[in-house]
Structure 1
Amino acid sequence: MMQRKCQQPIVCHGHSRPIVEVNYSNVTPDGYFLVSASKDGQPMLRSGTTGDWIGTFIGHKGCVWSCALDPSATLAATGSADFSAKIWDALTGMEKATLQHKHIVRTCCFSPCSGKLVTGGHEKLMRLFDVERPEAAPVELTGAPSAIKAAVFVGPSDSLLVSSTGDTAGLTVWDVRGGAVVRSMPTDGPVTSVDLTHDGRWLTTTDNRNTIRVWDTLKLDAPAKVFTVSYPAEAASYCPSKNRFVAGGEDMWVHLHSADGAGAELEVNKGHHGPVHTVRFGPEGKEYASGSEDGTIRIWQTDWLESQAGLADGAAQVAVNAVAPPYANGAKA
């Protein structure tokens, strides 16, 4: 392992409690954006490139467990421990709809092309809402073995949903039109994170504390890639254009890996002061964001290692950074 000049991330302060999820928008005419969910109950919107604070969505009365932006980044959705999900105008910050549930909402996700929002949580079911008519009765998908932890749309015309639960191994694939379970995708332990690439092709999951799987959503059978890492991983994200994946967990570090072969570790990024709960690549693959128990979001450059002078051509090396300085790009309003 080689000690090198440190990558200094953009550090985004503002949240007062742990960050549990971050998600990037697609690229829009105005750039792209980063939304964050936190146990402080105040989801925030930021510039996806600079981390500059844009606004805080105020209205939840409990921890916010999940956050999402629609394909145009004009709507945001959040799921909360206050037994509700909310749809927000991402341009004004105003609440557009409150979707009442009977228990904690752990996940929410917009469909890429059909105008739907899926929610799931401790009720052991998922609900499909029409974003244009959120007051209409949702379609319910029942039969999950335990509380839903994550759900994402996959397949042509958003025809399938992939879900995970908090305490059972494997993923479940649902037919959105009929509500039936069409297949299972096995893992060695409960899945702790699910991430879909921005092109919708690749699904990244973590399970068994150190196993990262990349699945082809056109097949949804055996994983296309499986990596075993040497540290406890809670979350991971894959970038096909860079052929890399990033992961984080209890060791408080953010690890960047090659997605070739055994997944050689390229960078070990230090700076967080608590476990890393969530990581995501930006839509162009230029950066990735991490969110931690320490209440901060950090934005890292994907190609930082290549930008450093004096690296040996073709050599696999590991760069270890120092603790990031207390520089905050953006502040809570």
Structure 2
Amino acid sequence: MSRKILRATYAPQPQGQLTMSEHRAAVKAVCVFPAGVYWGQSYGPRIVSGSNDGSLLIWDPETGVTNRIGQHEDLVNSVCIMPGARDRAPRIVSANRYHSVRVWCERTEGDWEWELVGQHKHFVLSVCVLPAADGEAPRIVSGTWDNKVLVWIKQLDGVWKSELVGIHEEDVRSVCVLPAAGSEAPRIVSASNDKTVRAWREQTEGVWESELVGIHEEDVHSVCVLLAAGSEAPRIISASNDKTVRAWRERGDDGWESELVGQHENLVRSVCVLPGAGGEAPRIVSGHDDHTVRVWRERGEDGWESELAGQHEHWINGVCVLPGAGGGVPRIVSGSEDKTVRVWREEAEGGWETGLARKHEDVVLSVCVLPAVGDGAPWIVSGHGDHSVRVWRERSESGWESMLVGQHEDVVSSVCVLPAADGEVPRIVSGTWDNKVLVWIKQLDRVWKSELVGIHEEDVRSVCVLPAAGSEAPRIVSASDEGMVLVWRAQSEGVWKSEVAGEHASRVSSVCVLPAVGDGAPRIISASNDETVRAWRERGDDGWESELVGQHESWVRSVCVLPGAGGEAPRIVSGSLDKTVRVWCEEQRKGWEEQICLQLDSSVSSLASYEHYILIAQGNQTVRVWLPDEDPEGQHMLWIKVPASPCDAIWNIDPQAGKLRKPEIIVGTSRGLATFTIEELPF
């Protein structure tokens, strides 16, 4: 049996910048994941970024290919790398405003799991790793809004225990480590809104002593360490709201001596050190409120000289350094309030330029098929991270052609099609992270006009359509982060009224419709971060009634319906972060029961069905085709490797005929829209 993929093509994307911009909010923190061989594949250094949208992403700076590590409940303030012990891969440490510190471990390729290190009583603003003696595990250092510096130590029973290092008079904005020198152990450096920079030395186990390094005139935002050349001692570098970058040199019993690196017109938010190449001395990199990234070079007795590396469209929150491959020239990475991560490469003839090998292709979060009108062919509809809704027409000779439907004010997370009366053009429904549900109507002049359906209290994650029943027109169903499932009914042209179908205990990630069986009414199916799948049945004037379909062991990301055959009732399919796809069947008088549980090697991003086939998009850059009744254990699944993280995948079905237009899968990925043609389906 052949399961060969004939071709895989990417649809052309709108022109973008030489930048990486998949976050939907300000990028607060960046660091670099070391090069190495992971899961049998060689990787160069990659960029880790954390954002105000709570997301953690990992980027390949050479290709721009992005994978999602995970999601915090609130903004990510800081990220760093914890070296792997023995033969283990490095891990990522993240701190968020929700008071938590987490460690992320890549369990299988592209699939990350986290463990909670600990919970502070206030925002965690910065994390770093304190190296350990040989054979011991490294420790995590955290600085918080409640003025504290803590160290976290993993116990033999796997539980993390915290130890108080010390307390500032105001918020601790940044922490780093001053490496060991001679017989002296490494020290912790902290910077605070109390304008001070402090070094903490461990006297005995659990007892730390503080020494004042120096005082700025305003809050200190960031600290790092400039390693010395030869026998010189390392220096501490600090950046402050007083618009200065300073270097602090230890002078033995005389304490610390301050040196002005540079003065700027705006406050300095972040600093790091750019290692020297070819015998050059290391330089200091700073990120500023005037949107610039600057490099500072030491000129002996003449002090420090600065040059402009590059400019964002908003202030800079974080800078770090990307090592050069094979001894090449290192590059600068910057994360900004403009929601982008940029890479800056120094040119041999002087000056800096953005150094990605290709233009970024925008993430496609949702796809669906727009039925043909008249003799035309169906179109593909896509919802994008750049806030746009687009339609795509396939041109036989020139590939795919796109047209902009419209622009939202935030990420478009879900799209579906609202059927129209005979001869009319169907409408597009979009749900967005600006909490809105919109309908897009194509005018006679071919321009798409938007109509507001309604507004949720939080981000809209999924939309679908509840089919017409009798004389009633089809209705729109939407699900959101506040846990609500709403149904929207058109009252008159441009006027929509909502009713609550139901409420989950947490975010609802996906909704679909279970067709009516016999004289029954269709039901709404919802999947939630509360780990449940639920069905909602309309009871006339009594509103909607909830029934539990089933429970997963982690967030449920997607649901779809597996059609019944030969008079059998349709079934529900759900996919989860617990790496399972489950098939649920309704037993008369018994309710819902789990019929099949497919165990996978990574989390599930989305599901779609065609006849008895299930399309499974996974976090480890794979899409699988599964026939659950013939192959319940998934031993004969078709397996497709996608060159970027798939966010949504559908079959290229003619919506009117209900059949495949051709054996093709359409995938929305972190690099754009992709199509995969299959020679033969399994079984």
Q: For this structure pair, what is the TM-score category when the shorter chain's length is used for normalisation?
A: 0.5 to 0.7
Give the deviation of 1:262 after TM superposition.
Answer: 3.8
1:251 to 530, 535, 541: 530
CA distance in 2 between partners of 1:291 and 1:140 (Å): 31
The answer to whether residue 533 in structure 2 is matched with residue 264 in structure 1 is no
- Quote the residue 1:113 is aligned against: 372
The answer to whether residue 477 in structure 2 is matched with residue 204 in structure 1 is yes
- Quote the residue 1:301 is aligned against: 585
Structure 1 residues 170 and 118 mapped into 2: Cα distance closer, same or farther (>3 Å)? closer
CA distance in 2 between partners of 1:191 and 1:293 (Å): 20
Give the deviation of 1:132 after TM superposition.
Answer: 5.0
The answer to whether residue 568 in structure 2 is matched with residue 276 in structure 1 is no
CA distance in 1 between partners of 2:563 and 2:499 (Å): 21
CA distance in 2 between partners of 1:329 and 1:289 (Å): 18
Conserved 8 A contact 1:175-1:182:
no
Tell me which amino acid in the other structure corresponds to 1:131. E
By relative contact order (CA 8 Å, sep 6+), the higher-ranking structure is 1
- Quote the residue 1:290 is aligned against: 574
Conserved 8 A contact 2:538-2:544:
yes
1:193 to 456, 462, 486: 462
Q: Which has a greater percent of strand?
A: 2
- Quote the residue 1:125 is aligned against: 388
- Quote the residue 2:449 is aligned against: 180
CA distance in 1 between partners of 2:504 and 2:591 (Å): 26
Structure 1: 5+ residue runs without aligned partners?
Answer: 1-90, 309-325
Q: Deviations over 1:18-65 (max 9, x none)?
A: xxxxxxxxxxxxxxxxxxxxxxxxxxxxxxxxxxxxxxxxxxxxxxxx
Give the deviation of 1:269 after TM superposition.
Answer: 1.3
- What's the secondary structure of 2:362's corresponding residue? coil
Conserved 8 A contact 1:204-1:238:
no
- What's the secondary structure of 1:138's corresponding residue? strand
CA distance in 2 between partners of 1:188 and 1:214 (Å): 15
- Quote the residue 1:227 is aligned against: 501
The answer to whether residue 239 in structure 2 is matched with residue 239 in structure 1 is no
Q: TM-score scaled by structure 1?
A: 0.56
Tell me which amino acid in the other structure corresponds to 2:514. C
- What's the secondary structure of 1:123's corresponding residue? coil
Instruction: Return 279-288 or 139-148, whichever deviates more.
Output: 279-288
Conserved 8 A contact 1:108-1:117:
yes
Conserved 8 A contact 1:273-1:294:
yes
- Runs ≥4 residues deviating over 6 A: 217-220
Q: Deviations over 1:183-215 (max 9, x none)?
A: 443333321111235779343211252221233
1:152 to 402, 416, 436: 416
Q: TM-score scaled by structure 2?
A: 0.29
Structure 1 residues 136 and 289 mapped into 2: Cα distance closer, same or farther (>3 Å)? closer
Instruction: Return 143-152 or 229-238, whichever deviates more.
Output: 229-238
- Quote the residue 2:7 is aligned against: 95
**Percent of aligned positions with the same letter in both sequences?**
16
Name the larger-Rg structure.
2
Tell me which amino acid in the other structure corresponds to 1:276. V
For the aligned residue pairs, the C-alpha RMSD in angstroms reads 3.4
Conserved 8 A contact 2:574-2:581:
yes
- Quote the residue 1:81 is aligned against: none
- What's the secondary structure of 1:181's corresponding residue? strand
Conserved 8 A contact 1:173-1:182:
yes
- Quote the residue 1:171 is aligned against: 438
Q: Number of matched residues?
A: 225
Structure 2: 5+ residue runs without aligned partners?
Answer: 14-360, 593-631, 640-683
CA distance in 1 between partners of 2:550 and 2:362 (Å): 37
1:162 to 419, 429, 432: 429
- What's the secondary structure of 2:409's corresponding residue? coil
